[in-house]
Amino acid sequence: MQVYVGAETPFGLSLGVVGEGAETWGATIQGQQLQLDYQSLGLELRLRFLRDGGVNPWVGLRVAQSRSTPLTLDDLGSPRRMLHAGLSTAVRLGLDTWLGEHLGISASTAWQWCDVRVDSTASPTLDACAKPLHSILLGPTLRF
């Protein structure tokens, strides 16, 4: 789930607060089967194009504080909960389609860096970012 609340200038540039949360069960990340809780809160800068029409493409850049708590299995098969927190970034592309003056549908995609960290079973102290994650979001949007 993602929530963005921002203020937009007359020429299409907006700055807002963005919050994200995800719960994943049985996902494979960097070759490990795990359960993952993820949250982030940060700032996003968006530039919207073709604002006079019913369809508005936009690009965004996000910087956030993220927190992930993966539950993985160690070498003996015992579950192990980890906590990783850090600064994350994302580049986003989106498209808003307006169904009326205030209600629309938003579709976006993002490439996120350092949002999720997963400890290696070979090196439990490894504190490296996971490869960039790619996400796709589709949902309602409101404007006032």
Q: How far apart are CA 99 and CA 102, in angstroms?
A: 8
Question: Looking at residue 12, what is its pLDDT?
Answer: 86
One-letter amino acid for residue 81 of the chain: R
Question: What average pLDDT does this structure show over 77-103?
Answer: 82
pLDDT tens for residues 47-89? 999 878 889 899 999 998 888 777 766 677 677 777 777 788 8
CATH number of 2-142: 2.40.160.20
What is the β-pairing status of strands 79-81 and 2-8?
Answer: unpaired
Q: What is the mean pLDDT of the chain?
A: 77
| Of 24 and 138, the one with more pLDDT | 138
For residue 38, give both structure tokens: 């993820």
Per the listing, tokens 């970012």 go with 129
The answer to whether the beta carbons of residues 128 and 99 sit under 8 Å apart is: no
Question: Looking at residue 87, what is its pLDDT?
Answer: 83
For residue 136, give both structure tokens: 């796709």
For residue 13, give both structure tokens: 């540039």
Assess whether pLDDT exceeds 70 at residue 90. Answer: yes
One-letter amino acid for residue 99 of the chain: L
- Of 54, 50, 68, the closest CA to residue 118 belongs to 68
**DSSP 8-class letter at 122:** S
Q: Is 126 helix (H, G, I), strand (E, B) or coil?
A: coil
